[in-house]
Amino acid sequence: MAAQTNLNSMPPQDEATTPTNWRELVIENLIRLAGISAVLIITMIFLFLLREGFPAFVEVPLSDLFSSRWYPIEDKFGLLPLLAGSLIVTVGAVVIAVPLGLTTAIYLGEIAPPWQREILKPFIEVLAGIPSIVLGFFGWVALAPLIQSMGAPSGLTAFTGSLILAYMALPTIISITEDALYAVPKEYRDGALAIGATQWQTIWRVVLPAARSGIVIAVMLGIGRAIGETMAVMLVTGNAANIPDLGFGALFQPVRTMTATIAAEMGEVAQGSLHYSVLFGIGIVLFIITFAINSLATYFVGGGKRRRGGQI
């Protein structure tokens, strides 16, 4: 590599190359350092999590961890209600946000006339900029009463949390999906239209499949944002660590998520206590879940890339 660069630039004086190479070396190593430090920091965070949280998995029997009772004062550390809470709120958010986000992106990218796009896009960017706690506050003050008036025993339910999370995930899903659609070459659309496909058939059968990997990233990043979110959810989900009844009704009961549990209880525990370890254990579980989602996304996208690479 280095030899080739020298050949190409053909320096008139030999001295000129030395400082250049020297500078290249410094820059290269700075960049390498930045890359390595990212890996290092993540590893250290994970090791720290492990050290603090590992005792939980040793000292609390597995059967207790998988029980349905979370009552730390009596040393009951059943994670199921928290897992169920996170699951319901997140799945609810995904079910709301993905179709809404994808259709909005399709509308913006493929159908809307330019003037509408120019009005809508800034609004979506503003939506992305609203601090999550403000959304949570909005949910508490405005959404919860609405949901209660529709017949739920309390307005602070999993569904309220899902709505707020969906709104937080929407801008991510919309803007990344729109980028993915934009990256689909016009030639594909022309090819489909020229055969006699309608605009909708073109979008559904050609544009969306071609943008698939980008759309998967959009959805995964959206979900990632939803899973990690804490404060807003804590405000509106009612904070009850119960396993909700199965079925559709589960959405309209108060729940408590893993993140909310950590945030709510971390302040009150003695450092090094079992409760403290269990909270870190929850952190480990969260870490593993998000890691799994990211790996899944990478796997999907990697598949798409490999296939597109074959074009050359």
Partner 1 sequence: MIKNKIDVEGFNFYYGNFQALKNLNVPIREHQITALIGPSGCGKSTFLRSLNRMNDTIASARAEGKVLLNGKNVYDPDVDVVELRQRVGMVFQRPNPFPQSIYNNVAFGPRVLGMAQKGTDLDNIVEASLKEAALWDEVKDRLNHLATDLNPGQQQRLCIARAVAVRPEVILMDEPCSALDPVATLSVEELMRELSDEYTIVIVTHNMQQAARASDWTGFFWLGELVEFAPTGELFTNPKQELTESYITGRQG
Helices 114-129 and 158-182: crossing angle, nearest 10°?
130
CB of 207 to partner 1, least distance (A): 10
CB of 181 to partner 1, least distance (A): 14
CB of 107 to partner 1, least distance (A): 17
Which residue ranges make up the site for partner 1 (CB under 8 A)? 114, 185, 187-188, 190-198, 201, 205-206, 209-210, 307-308, 310-311
Q: Based on CB atoms, which residue is closest to partner 1, 188 or 287?
A: 188
CB of 120 to partner 1, least distance (A): 18
71 - beta bridge partners? 76
Instruction: Mention every residue, 6+ apart, whose C-beta is less than 8 A from residue 121.
Output: 108
CB of 264 to partner 1, least distance (A): 48
CB of 205 to partner 1, least distance (A): 7
Q: Based on CB atoms, which residue is closest to partner 1, 61 or 185?
A: 185
Q: Which of 154, 205, 158, 211 is nearest to 180 (CA)?
A: 211
Q: Based on CB atoms, which residue is closest to partner 1, 24 or 190?
A: 190
* Half-sphere exposure for 202 (CA within 13 Å, toward CB): 20
Q: What tokens does 113 get?
A: 């006339």
Q: Based on CB atoms, which residue is closest to partner 1, 137 or 188?
A: 188
Q: Based on CB atoms, which residue is closest to partner 1, 129 or 196?
A: 196
Q: Which of 164, 239, 245, 176 is nearest to 211 (CA)?
A: 176
Q: Which of 260, 226, 272 is nearest to 70 (CA)?
A: 260
Instruction: Mention every residue, 6+ apart, whose C-beta is less than 8 A from residue 297.
Output: 216, 217, 220, 221
CB of 187 to partner 1, least distance (A): 4
CB of 185 to partner 1, least distance (A): 7
Q: Based on CB atoms, which residue is closest to partner 1, 196 or 247?
A: 196
Judged on CB neighbours under 10 Å (0-12, 13-18, 19+), 114 is exposed
Q: Alpha-carbon distance 19 to 37, whole Å?
A: 27
CB of 308 to partner 1, least distance (A): 7
Q: Which helix (H) or strand (E) holds 255?
A: none
Q: Which of 118, 68, 46 is nearest to 283 (CA)?
A: 46
Q: Based on CB atoms, which residue is closest to partner 1, 168 or 217?
A: 217
Q: Alpha-carbon distance 253 to 128, whole Å?
A: 28
Q: Based on CB atoms, which residue is closest to partner 1, 191 or 228?
A: 191
Q: Which residues of 5-17 are buried (b: 16+ CB within 10 A; e: fewer)?
A: eeeeeeeeeeeee
Q: Based on CB atoms, which residue is closest to partner 1, 14 or 187?
A: 187
